Amino acid sequence: MEQHANTTNGHASVGVYICHCGTNIAGVVDVAAVSEYAATLPGVTVARDYKYMCSDPGQELIKQDIREHGLNRIVVAACSPHLHEKTFRTAAQAAGLNPYLVQMVNIREHDSWVHTDRAMATQKAKDLVRAAVRRVRLHLPLERKRVSIHPDVIVVGGGIAGIHAALTLADAGKHVYLIEREPTIGGHMAMFDKTFPTLDCAACILTPKMTAVKAHPNITLWTMSEVTQVDGYVGNFKVTVRHKPRYIIEDACIGCLECISACVFKEGRTPDEFNMGLGKRKPVYIPFPQAVPQLVVIDPDTCIEFKTGKCKKTCVEVCAERKAIDFQQKETVDTVEAGSIVMATGFQIFDAGRVPYYGYGAYPNVYTALEVERLVNASGPTGGEVVLRDGRKPQTVGVVHCVGSRDENTNRYCSRVCCMYSLKLAHLIKEHTGAEVYNCYIDMRTPGKAFEEFYCRIAEEGVNFIRGKVADIYPEEGGTGRLIMQVEDTLVNYIRKVPVDMVVLSVGLEARHDANDVRRRFNLSCTNEGFFLERHPKLAPVSTFTDGIFLAGCCQGPKDIPDTVAQAGAAAAECLSLIDRQFVEMEPNTAVVNEDECSACRTCVPMCPYSAIGVREDTKKAWVNEALCKGCGTCVAACPSGSIRQNLFEDEEILEEIEGVLA
């Protein structure tokens, strides 16, 4: 490609193009006058105005002029650079001119769309064009850097989102590390009984995917593992993973569960985390029978051997053949390289104790929805029997919607899934007990596919609906053991006091309590509520502001299983797009440190929102990682000695532009 003189050598040859943008600009700004004025500016060789500069003929104008007149700088006065900067840069490049020698002036959003006085708008356009012409003379021919992409992917979190993303990527032939903190993958979905709106058994649809993950040759499954450090940048991440000891030799254990029956504890004493504390487990346990990997785990906090060292170790006796139990197992650390990361760390439920007037924790028969899921589940602590704490079957049940959601006092947002799962639980409770169920709601939110039909089905089954938020729950007088739900039924206009045996609180979804620590480790932003922040809520819901890291599932915001799986697929697709492209081009508008002037005072280091600048140990000078730098200019402004400059926004360029406007 023929390159024209890319430096001015004192001879700038500027082409100025004023776009009419139909009547968007020409309707207010006198484009012909601006074009005539531009032609008089020093250094301007060609000045034209045209109806639509972004069109093919418009771009052709620029290319032709570069070839014929030997232009070495271009100014396009048109719409916002957000829209067409790339178009004009590409056009210049096609004609052999470095794309960064093009400057756009916004005389639409900044002029014709915000002013009505024609004379003043035209004068403003002239001022802006003059400033741009002065600035562009000082532009330097910058080059985009290429960064190669490592083909491996790390998926953080082994719930349904992580599982689906991992399988999609592995099926595409990429190697995936699936890192999960708990002893098994499956996440919250493994705890559910049935899923809405089809009432599919959650475990029946999840476990095939879980076993597929274990069996897939392209997936390295690490459970009991956490990411402790993330270094690097897009395409070149270096991640440190800490494996917590299971005290079981993974290759030796076959999941026969004999050690659990043989344990010196005759019955479980520790509240079972998987069953929400409703059941008990022993120190050696498997979270649930279909756990993947199919291995037991020993809890060092409750096992006698760890506390006193004097246990009979009947578990070891019973495992004499495989010798899978190893009390000496230690934590190990691995460092892996990957090109992209998918965050699928999931959610936690709202702590119902924060709403004291619903009596959670105070009255025994007030449950959260997740606890009821475990009660209703056939492999739960009561074998699928929905019973109260004293073993009785409830005859009336109240379901309270919007606990910890849509409330200034707890969480502002709507948690999206609670109306649907409240309907599902109403159906399941009615099925298991034949009880009279009362759903007390503010609005019934059933937007998804087949959701409204599900609502109609539940209504037809005879579930009672009371439109009103439950105001208070208190014990019934006379020692009946029942609780009164006091609520205004806004549709029939009565204040109702409904005596129920059991109350189910439909708790909302929240960001995990350690989401803030996790997101700092990965250099991500988060919202006010703690969910990870996506790059654009509409157009980039799986990307983040950190290139190469994508989001999937409830860690980005509350959502149901279909949306989670869709988002996981989208995140996998973004990773594949990166990997198959094989490189990423970095915009050159990065900060550059002048090492001669830098004194390593470190003022810039904590300022960078992208952790892109640091002080190198070997040179003892500040150094910008160009792959992470987004060109925000904070360090440039902060540097007390002015030793950092920014490509495309040099001091001289900015000052020339200011002088041009004020001239």
Partner 1 sequence: MEIRGYWRHMFQFRKMKFQREAVPEWPHKVKTLPGCENIFSCIQCGTCSGTCPLSIYMDFTPRRIMSLLREGFRKEALGSETIWLCASCYSCAVHCPQDIHITDVMYSLKREAIKENLYPKRFPIPVLAREFYEIVKRRGRSSEMWLVLRMAFRSNPFILLGMAKSGWALLRTGRLSFKSEGIRNPKDLQRELAVKREVA
Applying CB under 8 A, which residues contact partner 1? 357, 402, 406-409, 442-443, 467-472, 486-490, 493, 495
Q: How far is the CB of 34 from partner 1 (least distance, A)?
A: 45
Quick one: 258 or 489, whose CB is closer to partner 1? 489
What separation in angstroms does the CA of 53 have from each of 21, 75, 78, 152, 421? 7, 12, 8, 43, 54
| Closest of 130, 8, 116, 118 to residue 77, by C-alpha | 130
Q: Please answer whether residues 570 and 542 qualify as being in contact, where contact means their C-beta atoms are separated by less than 8 angstroms.
A: yes
Tell me the chain's radius of gyration from C-alpha atoms. Answer: 32
Quick one: 113 or 413, whose CB is closer to partner 1? 413
| Closest of 399, 402, 473 to residue 438, by C-alpha | 399
Quick one: 332 or 490, whose CB is closer to partner 1? 490
Quick one: 356 or 562, whose CB is closer to partner 1? 356
Pairwise CA distance, residues 384 & 366, whole Å: 18
Strands 436-441 and 464-467 come out as: parallel
Pairwise CA distance, residues 549 & 340, whole Å: 6
| Closest of 277, 348, 342, 355 to residue 513, by C-alpha | 348
Q: How far is the CB of 347 from partner 1 (least distance, A)?
A: 21
Dihedrals φ, ψ of 373, to 5°? -55, -40
Pairwise CA distance, residues 330 & 325, whole Å: 13
**Half-sphere exposure (Cβ direction) of 309: Cα atoms closer than 13 Å:** 1
Q: How far is the CB of 471 from partner 1 (least distance, A)?
A: 3
Quick one: 410 or 544, whose CB is closer to partner 1? 410
Q: How far is the CB of 264 from partner 1 (least distance, A)?
A: 51
Q: How far is the CB of 343 from partner 1 (least distance, A)?
A: 31
Quick one: 337 or 476, whose CB is closer to partner 1? 476
What separation in angstroms does the CA of 559 have from each of 112, 564, 599? 42, 6, 49
Look up tokens 């190198």; give the residue.
Answer: 616
Quick one: 98 or 422, whose CB is closer to partner 1? 422
Q: How far is the CB of 470 from partner 1 (least distance, A)?
A: 7
Please count the other Cβ atoms lying within 10 Å of the Cβ belonging to residue 583: 12
Sign of the dihedral defined by the CA atoms of residues 213, 215, 220, 221, in that order: positive
Q: How far is the CB of 356 from partner 1 (least distance, A)?
A: 11
Quick one: 494 or 583, whose CB is closer to partner 1? 494
Q: How far is the CB of 493 from partner 1 (least distance, A)?
A: 8
Question: For the chain, how many residues are written?
Answer: 663
Q: How far is the CB of 27 from partner 1 (least distance, A)?
A: 36
Q: How far is the CB of 500 from partner 1 (least distance, A)?
A: 15
CA angle 618, 621, 625 (to 5 degrees): 90
Q: What is the dihedral of CA 301, 304, 307, 310, to 10 degrees?
A: -160
Q: How far is the CB of 501 from partner 1 (least distance, A)?
A: 20
Pairwise CA distance, residues 64 & 70, whole Å: 9
Q: How far is the CB of 498 from partner 1 (least distance, A)?
A: 11
Output the DSSP codes for 541-594.
SSB-SSTTEEE-GGGSS---HHHHHHHHHHHHHHHHHHHHH-EEEEPS--EEE-
Quick one: 495 or 655, whose CB is closer to partner 1? 495
Q: Could you give the 3-state DSSP secondary structure of residue 343? A: strand
Q: How far is the CB of 408 from partner 1 (least distance, A)?
A: 4
Quick one: 144 or 497, whose CB is closer to partner 1? 497
Quick one: 326 or 489, whose CB is closer to partner 1? 489
Which pair of tokens denotes residue 156? 């953080």
Pairwise CA distance, residues 233 & 548, whole Å: 7
Quick one: 283 or 558, whose CB is closer to partner 1? 558
Strands 225-233 and 236-243 come out as: antiparallel
Please count the other Cβ atoms lying within 10 Å of the Cβ belonging to residue 216: 17
Which pair of tokens denotes residue 316? 């070891």
Strands 347-349 and 219-222 come out as: unpaired
Pairwise CA distance, residues 594 & 273, whole Å: 55
Quick one: 443 or 461, whose CB is closer to partner 1? 443
Quick one: 326 or 488, whose CB is closer to partner 1? 488
Quick one: 114 or 471, whose CB is closer to partner 1? 471
Q: Please answer whether residues 294 and 246 qualify as being in contact, where contact means their C-beta atoms are separated by less than 8 angstroms.
A: no
CA angle 289, 293, 297 (to 5 degrees): 70
Q: Say if residue 222 is exposed, middle or buried (CB neighbours under 10 Å; 0-12, 13-18, 19+).
A: buried
Q: How far is the CB of 410 from partner 1 (least distance, A)?
A: 8
Q: Please answer whether residues 154 and 64 qualify as being in contact, where contact means their C-beta atoms are separated by less than 8 angstroms.
A: no
Q: How far is the CB of 369 from partner 1 (least distance, A)?
A: 19
Q: How far is the CB of 407 from partner 1 (least distance, A)?
A: 4
Quick one: 317 or 443, whose CB is closer to partner 1? 443
Pairwise CA distance, residues 643 & 601, whole Å: 11
Q: Position 356: which residue type?
A: P
